[in-house]
Structure 1
Amino acid sequence: MNDIRHALSRRSRGPGRLAALLLSLVVLLGLSGGTALAGPNGEKKRSRPAVVVPASAMDAVAAMQPSWNLGNTLDAIPHETNWGNPLTTREMLAHVRSQGFRSVRIPVTWTDHHSATAPYTIDPVWMNRVQQVVDWALAEGLYVVLNIHHDSWQWIAKMTTEHDQVLARYNALWTQIAARFKDAPRTLLFESVNEPQFENATAEQVTRFLNELNTSFHSIVRSSGGGNTDRLLVLPTKFCTPDQALMDDLYTTIRALNDRNLVATVHYYSWYPFSVNIAGGTHYDATAQKDLDDAFARMHNTFVARGIPVYVGEYGLLGWPDHNHPSRIERGEALKYYEHLGYKARVAGVTTALWDPGAWAYLNRETLTWSDPALFQWIKSSWTTRSGTTSFDKVHLPKSSPITVQSLTLNRNGTSFHGLWQGNTRLSYGRDYTVSGDRLTFTTTALTRLAGNRAYGVNATIQARFSSGLPWNIDIVTHDRPVLANATGTTGAFTIPTRYRGDTLATMHATYADGTNAGQTDWTPYQEFNKAFRPDYAGNGIILHTEFLNALRDGERATLVFHFYSGATVTYHVTKSGTSVTGTVA
């Protein structure tokens, strides 16, 4: 994925040589057993009936929907378990199939498993392991997309200055991969390279280099014989970005190759400010929605409408979910994004592959359970239907004020609104709420009952139900304006004492007296959540990260405005002097 810094941070977590030893044992002994082909060690186990692949590339890619990524695994650096995931098993892939996925993308980083000089021979143990995982997936009735992954930035990016060496190395890898898998069924697809990029290249060079890689890949695979003569081949844009100019370049390449079995691939991680919560992107607002609408319309118009299938090889949000840190994107806003994406993918006629980096995000690969089952249900529901939502998933009631009527906007998304429930009890229209057009209004009577003793936090959860899809949860929240306190610390450790009083932090705005932006992100005053700052709800604090503090001007006061999801704001001043930091309430 584009935000590789998060993945790279997991290097130190792996067992190193022990991982390599375990990998060798898995391959040599076939600990989980079973293959679809004649495996590297002759394993023989039951398989599902062979998948019949449609002759049409468009129909075949449609049959791959939905898809899932075995992320941060065979693409981990340098070994399979170094980024926190366990060794892949056939049972894991069978579970993925049981959850409704019809295909799996298996990213592979080859850098540390082949010689960096000619003839660039792939380590046979690694090649066997890759085949073993591929075979397990095929045997479970899954389509498989196999690629060259982080090699794209590790050495392929040097094509600008080391053109001949990079091309020779790339060609050697695909020659060996194509030869190994030439007898695999057509349910195996090859993807030329993940998120290709080229250091210090001009726009003309980017176009030329990527066309050269894609064309060379196509020639090598097609000339290798066997099942590779009509295998579906997946070709990317630069960085797998769905910008129009980049997709136009890829369309030109595909048309020139004159091959009915080619697939275009791009990735989609939403409008960047929303995806990582920066620059005020705290809500899945009209700007974020339009970014998605436009991207999927471009995919359809550039490729699908012209008979070329599209495989969205990765989708998700760059900063969510991450169960190791506070959620940087408000939950309901994230659910809206996933619901919208599933719908627009269906409208555009493209296949989507969820990027899953492992246990801290979606599927826990050790327990084979979803880290957030409700989130997965929203993703799964989006594959076939629409769900209604509201403008926010919380109604905030200030404890310091009398309860008054509160309203939300209904987003019916093509459904019909069927009313509100608290558990199994249906709320009464007129007495508890009213609807006027798209305006849903809660009465004072209902809110007083739902708020109960008005303790800070969530007092009750009600459900808005619609004619299709999943019910939408709305929390009734009692809060008061958060209270911050003075503090001292260092650039290495600084926490603002904070009484949240039922509220949650949305973002932080940071400026100097002259109006310029304060912090490491100088193009916006709204700094990145979990990178410049993060809430510590259990510890009653807001942590300012070292990177943010080090970026402050020495001796100059920065004004921080903390925005909360209730709409409340609190202003705070921070001054750095050397390594000392002082914070005061405005």
Structure 2
Amino acid sequence: MQVVRRRTRKWMALAVAALAVLAAGLGILAPTAAYAAEGCKVDYKIQSQWGGGFTGDVKITNLGDPVSGWNLVWTFPNGQRVTQAWNATTTDAGDTVTAKNMSYNASIATGASVSFGFNGSWSGANGVPASFSLNGAVCTGAVGEPSTPPTTTPPPTGGLTAMETVAAMQPGWNLGNSLDAVGADETAWGNPRITQALIENVAAQGYNSIRIPVTWDNHQSKTAPYAVEDAYLDRVEEVVGWALDADLYVLINIHHDSWIWMSAMNTNRTVVEDRYEAIWTALADRFRDAPPELLFESVNEPQFANVDDATAYALLDDLNTSFHEIVRGTGGGNATRVLVLPTLHTNADQGRLDALSATIQALDDPNLAATIHYYGFWPFSVNVAGFTKFNDEVRADLEGYFDRAYNEFVANGIPVLVGEYGLLGFDTHTGTVEQGEKLKFFEYIGYYARQKGITLQLWDNGQHFNRTTFQWRDPELFAMTKAAWTTRSGTASTDQIYVGRAATVADVSLTLNLNGTTFQGLRVGTTNLVQGTDYTISGSTLTIKASRLTTLLGDRSYGVRGTVHAVFSQGVPWRISVISYDQPTMSAATGASATFAIPTQFKGDQLATMEAKYADGTNAGPQNWTSYKEFGRAFNPDYAAGTVTLPTAFWSEVTDGQKVTLTFHFWSGRTVTYYVTESGGTVTGSLT
């Protein structure tokens, strides 16, 4: 949702307040609100139709005064029903359907339009509805008088409620591993110094908010009164100012302090409370008159050592309550500023949600928001235990997580901000999760968060957006992520077609995941392929013909020989790589456990996962509850070097002198069996 806002320079709220005082002193009356003119036009299209089903597209154009929320009502003439909708939520009463805005598309400016789509069912006939009503006014294509007077309730400070504020922050991005770096300087964790150009380029990508994590430990006195360095506050204020000037909503917090010193709260309560209160007192004073687009988050991922959950909940309640009291007590913009409170560990397990809900109810403040983090179903997120694909179990975990947050908070009028999301495997290697499976995750999380009215802020510690060139390191991932801000994209059962280098080329079929879209065609570059000649489509089964694959394979040298793109009615096309390969092979090797690597000829193939077992069949290596080891930590392929490395993390949990059978699983479906034995820090690897 794009919200018209705000100021040309920070703290402009002061000027607005001053004008209001001046007007009152001169006896000038503020203008009274006029009734809003109403008018609208609706374009209803049947995009595609098949036996018993169809896809509809609805475009609403607002011809009257701006609206900040909408309901569109129509009646189907032939008993049709909506079975699935996107970019709106629908309810029906018999033949009458009501479509309601999502949080991100609630506002429609004068002359502006919003669109939503749906899949429906029909029988006998599929006629177009005769009329549509927007917020009670019939859409005639003309502007008329208002059907009801507007509310006289004054808007909250900043013009937006907490729910509207958090909705306006979608989508969001994290400036990770910079001001939150643990060290003397913001470059301590490898990122360059933050510049105004970086912030402006982030905004130019389409983001509406930025989360600026800040670690205070090295910039705060370790003795009472625990003063915060003025120079560091100045630097934080400078970066916040750049972000506000770029028309971004901004969220700042206390970040890695949560584990550096706050986790000892149960045994060092007075010091932790005093340090915590000193930081928020300094921040509240510094930003007292900042505009409402600046939000405060009490603490990142709160955690407490050696306590049970009940004690941890009480400790966090103490911190959140103290934070609320300090900020609200400074007045000014802080009196109504949206404050963001985390669950324990910023986790959406039901007990964590219930505890935070109790705190929010006790505070009884309409300008509060809840925050959680989500890095996916853990085995998939780090590629362990054989979870190499975005399957039903991975999807169910995501849905359950967001459903719980919605039911606890959003459904009760409390906004939810997912302050960090992504995949944990990115910390090791952005290739930990296979590209196509990764894209499915980002497509679905964007879609599902929209359905639940939850705002997402991408965690980026420098691995996604290059902070020097201002380019995305994985443009395909960003394109999918950006599309998911507003719509769905079609995907498929795979993004890889493996063809043996010497094998006879045959037709290859894969299943399309339409995700509410319709398949439009297959493309190579800018050339549209010919249905029936190059490919066939039957329902959701796409078959690429052998003749087209042969052309793409060319001389059939190893690796990706060509790509085709499946194009859908909305969202980004789905890339399918056509790969020539042979059975991968490995060679015997000997070396120190700290540097041991298996010589590997990948021959166009790529590694999906690795199993490790002892001779008796029990699981070997770390995480021995599963035979499938963690990608990037227990093993790591290097395609350019032609090796698979087994790092120290693997050997530290292998019994010295025992032979381990490794089974390497490749994406082509091929496997390689390899044997390793470590003795006294020396590893011997062989094929027998």
TM over 0.5: yes
Which position in structure 1 is the counterpart of 2:445? 341
Which position in structure 1 is the counterpart of 2:206? 100
Aligned mates of 2:603, 2:337 — CA distance in 1: 59
Counterpart pick for 2:10 among 20, 36, 49: 36
Residue type of the alignment partner of 1:272? W
Counterpart secondary structure, 2:199: helix
Counterpart pick for 2:351 among 229, 245, 262: 245
Residue by residue, what CA displacement relative to the aligned partner does 1:248-273 show, whole Å, maximum 9, x if unpaired? 11111111111000000001111111
Residue type of the alignment partner of 1:415? T
Which position in structure 1 is the counterpart of 2:493? 391
Residue type of the alignment partner of 1:494? F
Which position in structure 2 is the counterpart of 1:479? 581
Q: Which structure shows the higher helix fraction?
A: 1
1:353 matches 2:457:
yes
**What is the aligned residue count?**
537
1:280 matches 2:386:
yes
Counterpart secondary structure, 2:436: helix
Worse-matched range after superposition: 495-504 or 521-530: 521-530
Residue type of the alignment partner of 2:361? R
1:425 matches 2:527:
yes
Would you say the 8 A contact 1:274–1:284 is kept in 2?
A: yes
Residue type of the alignment partner of 2:532? G
Residue type of the alignment partner of 2:440? K
Counterpart secondary structure, 2:633: coil
Residue type of the alignment partner of 1:293? E
What aligned pairs does 1:493-512 form with structure 2 within 5 A after superposition? 493-512=595-614
1:444 matches 2:546:
yes
Residue by residue, what CA displacement relative to the aligned partner does 1:492-518 show, whole Å, maximum 9, x if unpaired? 221111111110011110011222211
Deviation at 1:426, TM superposition (A): 2.0
Which position in structure 1 is the counterpart of 2:164? 59
Would you say the 8 A contact 1:311–1:351 is kept in 2?
A: yes
Residue by residue, what CA displacement relative to the aligned partner does 1:272-331 show, whole Å, maximum 9, x if unpaired? 111111111211111111111111112211111110001110011112386xx5721111
1:255 matches 2:361:
yes
Which position in structure 1 is the counterpart of 2:622? 520
Aligned mates of 2:219, 2:242 — CA distance in 1: 21
Would you say the 8 A contact 2:327–2:335 is kept in 1?
A: yes
1:566 matches 2:668:
yes
Residue type of the alignment partner of 2:261? W
Residue by residue, what CA displacement relative to the aligned partner does 1:548-579 show, whole Å, maximum 9, x if unpaired? 12321111100100011111111111011111
Counterpart secondary structure, 2:274: helix
Aligned mates of 2:308, 2:444 — CA distance in 1: 35
Aligned mates of 1:209, 1:561 — CA distance in 2: 47
Residue type of the alignment partner of 2:159? P
Would you say the 8 A contact 1:35–1:136 is kept in 2?
A: no
Deviation at 1:585, TM superposition (A): 1.0
Would you say the 8 A contact 1:195–1:240 is kept in 2?
A: yes
What aligned pairs does 1:158-557 form with structure 2 within 5 A after superposition? 158-320=264-426, 325=429, 327-358=431-462, 361-557=463-659
Residue type of the alignment partner of 2:417? Y
Aligned mates of 1:116, 1:336 — CA distance in 2: 46
Deviation at 1:35, TM superposition (A): 5.9
Cα RMSD between the aligned structures?
1.6
Aligned mates of 2:495, 2:187 — CA distance in 1: 38
Which position in structure 2 is the counterpart of 1:10? none
Give identity over the alignment, percent.
52
Would you say the 8 A contact 2:259–2:302 is kept in 1?
A: yes
Q: Structure 2 length as normaliser, TM-score? A: 0.76
Would you say the 8 A contact 2:611–2:629 is kept in 1?
A: yes
Residue by residue, what CA displacement relative to the aligned partner does 1:341-367 show, whole Å, maximum 9, x if unpaired? 111111010111111101xx1111122
Would you say the 8 A contact 1:310–1:351 is kept in 2?
A: yes
Worse-matched range after superposition: 408-417 or 52-61: 52-61
Would you say the 8 A contact 1:106–1:147 is kept in 2?
A: yes
Counterpart secondary structure, 1:519: coil
Would you say the 8 A contact 1:66–1:102 is kept in 2?
A: yes
Residue type of the alignment partner of 1:64? M
Deviation at 1:169, TM superposition (A): 1.5
Would you say the 8 A contact 1:321–1:327 is kept in 2?
A: no
Q: Structure 1 length as normaliser, TM-score? A: 0.89
Aligned mates of 1:218, 1:321 — CA distance in 2: 33
Residue type of the alignment partner of 1:144? V
Worse-matched range after superposition: 547-556 or 114-123: 547-556
Would you say the 8 A contact 1:326–1:530 is kept in 2?
A: no
Residue type of the alignment partner of 2:561? N
Query: Greater Rg, structure 1 or structure 2?
Result: 2
Would you say the 8 A contact 2:421–2:459 is kept in 1?
A: yes
Residue type of the alignment partner of 1:310? V
Would you say the 8 A contact 1:487–1:584 is kept in 2?
A: yes
